Amino acid sequence: MNPPSVHVYTFCFNEQMMMPYFLRHYLPIADKITIYDNYSTDASIELAKQHEKIEVIQFDTNNQLRDDIHTEIRNNCWKNCEEDIAIVCDLDEFLYHPNLPRFLKRFMAKKYTVAKPIAYDMFSHDLPKTDGQIYDEIKIGARQPFYDKPILFVPAHIESMNFYPGGHHVLPEGQVKLYQNDLALKLLHFKFLSVDYVVARRRLGESRRSDINRQNKWGVEYEEKYEAEVLQRMNESLARGYEVLGERYNLHKETT
């Protein structure tokens, strides 16, 4: 069986630090990567355009954080996907498996149509410096069930993914055969990468929150934007964190 073709869809606003790690992770398994860019003002897109597999589509929100527009894109960007598998994720989210190409082949061979990985927040007091994979350097994470979400699916069999604002609540419709509860398949969320980085990202997010976001209480995490708050959150999480890629047990459960 030939490897399934893969199309990755993601979203960007000033992700210069994360972009090289995202591309390093997904380019080996992707036939195409589409980046929806909200008119970044840093070098994010220049970094992305160095690769021929990547298409950049810019969308304008008048320099505001608009989860309604973001959600509409997330729910429709894959509708004309010609590849076997679609992955729809944020740029700091890494779908991880010890052997991801083999997993994708098995996923298709067993005729699953949606995969729901196990999610973790990943933590570090320092920004990554490696020229390799980010998860080879930053290995400590904490289980975060709220972020469990089906980001991988077979578009030919799915009518709608029904991502809700924020992208963490998803209700796929169509011929849904769900692959879940496999601790080898992880969603690594690299958000807490030094206090300074988190504070800067949250202050940027809070400064761009639109009226519609505030009215609907979307993006409330950006209100936690002070160093003491972020440091407390990180220390609490690190206290219950562990090396998540060291897990070897499997709780695979099939749901049709």
CATH number at residue 22: 3.90.550
In a domain, 250, yes or no: no
In a domain, 188, yes or no: yes
**Number of domains observed in the structure of the chain:** 1
Distance from C-alpha of 141 to C-alpha of 241, rounded to nearest angstrom: 5
In a domain, 1, yes or no: no
pLDDT per position as a tens digit, 12-69:
999 999 999 999 999 999 999 999 999 999 999 999 999 999 999 999 999 999 999 9
**Is beta strand 32-37 parallel, antiparallel or unpaired with respect to 54-58?**
parallel
Q: Is 197 within 8 Å of 125 (Cβ atoms)?
A: no
Handedness of CA 148, 154, 157, 158 (dihedral sign): positive
How confident is the model at residue 256, as a pLDDT? 35
In a domain, 89, yes or no: yes
In the structure, what pLDDT confidence band is assigned to residue 245 with cuts at 50, 70 and 90?
A: confident
pTM summary value: 0.93
User: Which domain does 146 fall in, by range?
Assistant: 6-245
In a domain, 187, yes or no: yes
pLDDT per position as a tens digit, 89-117:
999 999 999 999 999 999 999 999 999 99
Q: Under 8 Å CB-to-CB from 96, ≥6 apart: which residues? A: 117, 135, 185, 186, 187, 188, 245
Percent of the chain whose predicted confidence (pLDDT) is above 90: 78
In a domain, 255, yes or no: no
